[in-house]
Structure 1
């Protein structure tokens, strides 16, 4: 579907877009130049999805980032060039192995190597096949985030004839395609390779067999079926499909794709995709290769390993917007994706949103909030940070967000779940994150003699200071650290976090005192000095 018109924007935004440096604009300029050369009057963006499993965090990232480039393109062209985003499901691929998450593996075993849309649905319900079920999960997934896209099924495109002309063309260019593919394969694979994968009319399986004959005039391929019977099938009408590398190039040619991004694991094959698209007579699209995510110890995230964060885990503890920010930032840098990155992403997101309203058009287009919200940046009032709420949850041992609101409403008059639903949402995330990911990892320690003296001094200095604001309280914290000769001063704050909060790091402690309460903080120090926090942990 063509995107809805952009919301009303100051003309300065369209002018500023011409020189904007944010990476979506850099990519969008390539597409502008491409259309100027080709004369196309519409820009087609594409993302791919392998429906052998459920959508995951990489699926979100690819569609979100492509959407950001699409929006940048629309600004560069003053929203005068129609655009489409096609989310393509490779659901005609054969099921090579049985996924781990199905309820009954034996149910699927007879259907190995059949196209995913010919495999019965192991989950029951009204879906026609396993592929149809997973496609529905993809669409539900994308719809949840409000993406503007068109869904495309490989099975439907192959069977309906949408790829027929391109497949006939592939038969005509068979030798040239083989000339590209064979040098990329080992000797054993070369002996049996064919870009065409026939669907056995007897077993229904996708066959990886050599071709005995390819007749471009008749539009047929001849091969030996699984039982040794010589069989001839048309290349059209869904009787066969292409191997995945040739399929990439064929799809670009058949659909006229202008932009597609993919992970670094595809980069070594990019020249193959491009070459096959060009052999068929197409113009390979603009590409953007992004880095893959790493887990906590720096290993590549893998669905089979189950390392790193899942999309559901992120959305349990933080908003989709914070995840979109993580996707926006430095796509070409390998980043670690694990629980500890969430708090920073959340607070950075709100900081960008807060800054947006005061920025001119040029600065606004460099602000990630513009790209996350596709120019419709909300106005949010966030008087406290996620990090501060996490430490409040720790000090208050909060098991539900109402406990946090007892402190928030007392320290910030007028703030309630009803008046600030965004803060209420954040409080809910903070409680879940604390209880699931922080509480069990907290390690309180006893203070050294020097730290004990300084903490006792801080306790005494805070007496009667209930009326001070966060900055004034922070000044007291600094003064105590300096008075007790902490050099560097961060050692003093490390002592505060380790002794009082059981953490390696924390928020501005003056802000924490202001929110938690002066008397409550003094009691926290008393408990720490008495050894109660270590004992309780």
Structure 2
């Protein structure tokens, strides 16, 4: 354990770097509350998107890294800002007119448009929790509605009244003059309409902790700030929540970064040390636009899990959190294959390399063995050429390529085969576009067929390639029709011998003529998996124009 801890204290993996920053807060004495508190926030104004999941996953990775370097107990709170007023109606939910009639009410007072839960806020909270539970996160769920109404926030709200002028000074510096003239950190909830009001305060009363204001119709009201009658504006709410809970760490998107000094200062005014924070870059959709709960663009968690494993999504989330990344369906195959590459690399690495490997953080150090004997990208091509409708069809090819593999003994392979068929039919098949070969390509393809039928032709092609490169004395490979390296050497040699410059033009021919795609697999490996006779038939179909339809 001490070797692991020592290595973790110098690891450059970002979860350990952030964990060390949290530990430094308590280098003189442990926390009085008895634990280190990690928090993530969620605004349930729309259905949870994958970025929300990413916050909890990344925070959990930092929490686990902290537990590696420290014996201080930890907690993780997922806090839902469900007392916020619904400022606009999300476009991706039903019952739009009903929602429109409930604008400005707290999300937990807006009827559920899906008619399944007590409110829209309760519905979105349930969706978030279901998503998080799918991944086995250990967290405590906090609802802002309950937090305000139960009195847990009362002491900090009273402190906000006592420090009202100081907090207002912080806020007014960040506001335009027009908004500053009517701004208050307190948002009353109208006793009759239930709407969250954005109105100026006539007075903030320190003697009885109430606020006095006129509503939109000019009627004066006085309400206590406690008991859920009043909520804080979102920026003061951030800092006040940190103070009320004693938060030690929270991460959020880059769009919050300019507000960090405001959050910190309000937390300090309310008597607590500001937490450590980590700002991540935003996710982008296929068009390079920020993904949004209200727009419903990008990929949902459920959509990713329709085509790939939970671990592949976790792998995507680990990579370069401070770099903006496209979050679209076309990245899924790459993430699956890279995840398994890292699994295979893990046992070969020293402890420093293992701590830097994403799979260490995905599996909290209990890293499984990869049972993926065929890459996911290759499965997609196999599904394509075999017109597979279910994973059982793929297993016939897989077991010929790797006879020892079975659905029971290779569950990740079995799962990936099912995902590959689904992904192929939904995304690859609709975009396939075959073409006829050019004269140069036709000659090369005919040569490839001859080489796959006759080892003498195959070895002659390799020998010619060697001679042309000035390596006539180089030993020829051993003939093994199941060896993908031998098959790749044939494909490579024929491309060279037929004058493809650059050589990638030859591989583009193979992909476009035979697979109907712009990119494809290492072709020797594809032939080994698909089979010699099947590959010959595929090439002959391409030459005869049967694939173009």
Q: Into which bin does the TM-score normalised by the smaller protein fall? A: over 0.9
Q: Which of 510, 513, 524 is the aligned partner of 2:538?
A: 524
Q: Tell me, yes or no, if structure 1 residue 45 matches structure 2 residue 45.
A: no
The answer to whether 1:274 aligns with 2:267 is no
Deviation of 1:242 (Å): 0.1
| Among 223, 235, 238, the residue aligned to 1:233 | 223
1:285 aligns with 2:284: no
User: What is the rounded CA distance, in whole Å, between the counterparts of 1:111 and 1:37 in structure 2?
Assistant: 51
Q: 1:128 offset after TM fit, Å?
A: 2.6
Structure-to-structure mapping, 1:378-457, within 5 angstroms = 378-457=368-447
Q: CA offset at residue 486 of structure 1?
A: 2.1
Residue 71 (1) aligns with residue 55 (2): no
Match of 1:81 in 2: 72
Residues 200-255 of structure 1, C-alpha deviation per residue, up to 9 Å, x if partnerless? 11211111111111112311111113332221111111110100000000011111
2:473 maps to what in 1? none
- The reply to whether residue 137 of structure 1 matches residue 96 of structure 2 is no
SS at structure 2 position matched to 1:184: coil
**What is the CA-CA distance between 1:136 and the residue it aligns to?**
1.6
Per-residue deviation, 1:362: 1.6
Q: 1:473-508: per-residue Cα shift (whole Å, max 9, x none)?
A: 111111111211223222221111111111111111
Question: What corresponds to 2:499 in structure 1?
Answer: 485
What's the offset of the Cα at 1:360? 2.6
Match in the other structure for 1:107: 98
1:28-427 equivalences under 5 Å are: 28-37=19-28, 39-40=30-31, 41-77=34-70, 80-125=71-116, 127-427=117-417
Aligned residues: 523
Greater alpha carbon shift after TM alignment, 432-441 vs 406-415: 406-415
Distance 1:334 1:478, change over 3 A: same
Q: Which moved more, 1:427-436 or 1:180-189?
A: 180-189
Cα distance in 2 for partners of 1:161, 1:223 equals 22
Q: 1:129 to 1:299 in 2, by over 3 A?
A: closer
RMSD of Structure 2 on Structure 1 (CA): 1.6
Which stretch of the first structure deviates more once superposed, 197-206 or 304-313?
Answer: 304-313
Contact 2:436 2:513 in 1 (8 A): yes
2:184 and 2:201 in contact (8 A); partners too: yes
User: How far apart are 1:464 and its partner, in Å?
Assistant: 4.8
- Classify 1:38/1:52 alpha carbon distance in 2 versus 1 (closer, same or farther; 3 Å): farther
Greater Cα offset, 241-250 or 218-227: 218-227
TM-score (norm 2): 0.92
- Describe the SS at the equivalent of 1:288: strand
Which residue of the partner structure matches residue 525 of structure 2?
A: 511
The answer for unaligned runs of 5 or more in structure 2 is 456-479
What stretches of structure 1 of length at least 5 have no aligned partner? 1-9
More off after superposition, 186-195 vs 10-19: 10-19
SS in 2 for 1:192: coil
- After superposition, the Cα gap between the structure-2 partners of 1:132 and 1:457, relative to the gap in structure 1 and judged at 3 Å, is same
In 2, Cα distance between equivalents of 1:526 and 1:207: 72
- Secondary structure of the residue aligned to 2:344 is helix
For residues 295 and 140 of structure 2, the distance between their equivalents in structure 1, rounded to whole angstroms, comes to 31
Partner Cα separation in structure 2 for residue 56 and residue 183 of structure 1? 33
Instruction: Specify the alignment match of 2:468 in structure 1.
Output: none
Higher mean C-alpha displacement, 513-522 vs 398-407:
398-407
Correspondent of 1:23 among 14, 26, 29: 14
Shift of 1:389: 0.5
CA distance in 2, matches of 1:328, 1:64: 9
Asked whether the equivalents of residues 279 and 322 of structure 2 are also in contact (C-alpha less than 8 Å), the reply is: yes
CA distance in 1, matches of 2:215, 2:296: 37
Q: How many Å separate the matches in 1 of 2:291 and 2:44? A: 18
Give me the TM-score of the superposition, normalised by structure 1. Answer: 0.94
Q: CA deviation at 1:38?
A: 6.3
In the TM superposition, residue 394 of structure 1 has moved relative to its aligned partner by 1.1
Q: Displacement of 1:42 after TM fit?
A: 1.5
* 1:207–1:37 CA distance, 2 compared to 1 (3 A): farther
